[in-house]
Amino acid sequence: MFAFRVLKRSNRSRARLGILKTAHGEIETPAFVPVATRASVRTMDSDEAAKAGSQALICNTYHLHIAPGEAIVRKAGGLHDFMHWNGPLMTDSGGFQVFSLGFGSDHGMGKMLKEEPERRITEGAQPMHIEITEDGVHFRSPVDGARMFLGPKESMHIQKTLGADITFAFDECPSPLSDRAYLKTSLERTHLWAKQCLDERNTKQALFGIVQGGAHKDLRLESARIIGAMPFEGFGIGGEFGYDKRSLKRIVSAMCDSLPKEKPRHLLGVGHPEDFAHIFASGIDLFDCIAPTHYGRHGTIFTSRGRFDLRKERFLKDRKPPDASCKCEVCKYYSRGYISHLLRSHELTGMKLASYHNLYFLNAQAAFLRHRIKNDDL
RNA sequence: UCCCCGGUAACUCAAUGGUAGAGUAACUCCCUGUUAAGGAGUGAGUUGUAGGUUCGAGUCCUACCCGGGGAG
């Protein structure tokens, strides 16, 4: 069961309020979707993720295939039972790992750039540790070095076995260093894979196609037109959008204009809290980001007054809560000083408290922006 | 009182008589569909003190100071 309904369109921006229904419950959109790569929002159990305001989670096909393997998850009753999460679940296809374990690893960089790069990856280039072919991608297991292959068929099969409510088509997330020629070839491959994923679809799970195209608006629009014409239940928007932050809003807005209006759009892997308003105003319904847990474990908290690195010594004597205007349990009971002490001592609880606050803060930020759309304020 | 061992960056320790280094901590910056409880960078020293030998001493010699151990 899958349905998406737009409840309200803003007359001030492309923002829209909606409700997405799955067999495991509804999602009020636009919504932030926390990342639970290995079937857990890092440092938290599923109840805590829910308490922090999460409506849905997104797990990863590649990671769960490697450990514990989809067969074990299925025998445990499927992903929902396995991780004791009764709400909507998504699985990402492993397409991002084509980048992160490929060119991303080679060049020691993430998918976002801050300035114009000096070197470019050109057509025909291959990453050092993986091989990208027409059919899919050859990886080596980080566990035992065994050869493994992930393509559209394989990804869809694993995702079916895992049993999330929403699945994603297998794509190539191109490196931000890719030149136009590489991007065009990669895009054709991603479009081909999208079709092959549709051939493997099942009736129990929704399938979202993924739009790519890098920072090139024309390629983005071409991708949105091609993927948008395919019978997906929704669409993921992947990759990067240029080193200038304003280009994200420009490109995402343009893509939302050319994707089917009645279907949900999920912005993949983007979402620092200061960008939420732009993301909403661009017409996005769902988006996920590792930021709350990733930054939390590294000691950075997001607050209404900006980011703070609680590992810094000056926070040890700080008796204030992480964010005075936050309603989360961490801010209710614990001080920056305590969390700082735990983080500086490498206590796992410090990472957890920071992660939990961050997650709550981001979910609350999304709820607040939904409220603003409701009140014609966004 | 004597004997032995030691004293080098904030901490723990390196350095055949030839430019004093590392790890940790500190500080700064970074992290966006998790290769990440991670990464990059910076500052950091009268080598216990005072002499001596030497072209050159953290290193060898003498005295003293401090710490640890042993003998009596």
Instruction: Assess whether A305 (CB) lies less than 7 A from strand B.
Output: no
Tens digit of each residue's pLDDT (9 = 90 or more) over A156-200: 999 999 999 999 999 999 999 999 999 999 999 999 999 999 999
Q: What is the mean pLDDT of residues A48-67?
A: 97
Q: Where are the alpha helices (DSSP H) in chain A?
A: 46-51, 61-66, 70-75, 79-83, 95-100, 103-106, 152-162, 180-199, 217-228, 245-258, 276-281, 291-297, 329-333, 336-344, 348-374
Residues A290, A33: Cα–Cα separation, whole Å: 9
Is the pLDDT assigned to residue A376 strictly greater than 90?
yes
What distance, in Å, lies between the first and last C-alpha atoms of chain A?
Answer: 31
* C-beta of residue A60 within 8 angstroms of C-beta of residue A37: yes
Q: What is the DSSP letter of A275?
A: G
Which residue has tokens 């948008």? A228
Respond yes or no: is residue A275 known to be catalytic.
no
By DSSP bridging, strand A265-267 and strand A286-289 are parallel
Query: Tokens representing A264?
Result: 């949900």
Residues A145, A132: Cα–Cα separation, whole Å: 17
SS (H, E, C) A195-212: HHHHHCCCCCCEEEEEEC
Tens digit of each residue's pLDDT (9 = 90 or more) over A235-257: 999 999 998 888 999 999 999 99
Is the pLDDT assigned to residue A210 strictly greater than 90?
yes
Residue from A47, A92, A144, A171 carrying the catalytic annotation: A92
| pLDDT computed for residue A246 by the predictor | 86
From the list A2, A28, A30, the residue with the least C-alpha distance to A16 is A30
Query: Tokens representing A323?
Result: 């964010």
Q: Which nucleotides of B are covered by protein (CB under 7 A)?
A: 25-39
From the list A43, A20, A33, A24, the residue with the least C-alpha distance to A84 is A24
Residues 97-136 of A with CB under 7 A from strand B: 97, 99-101, 104-105, 108, 110-112, 114
pTM exceeds cut of 0.90: yes
Q: What is the mean pLDDT of residues A110-120?
A: 87
Instruction: Calculate the average pLDDT of chain A.
Output: 96
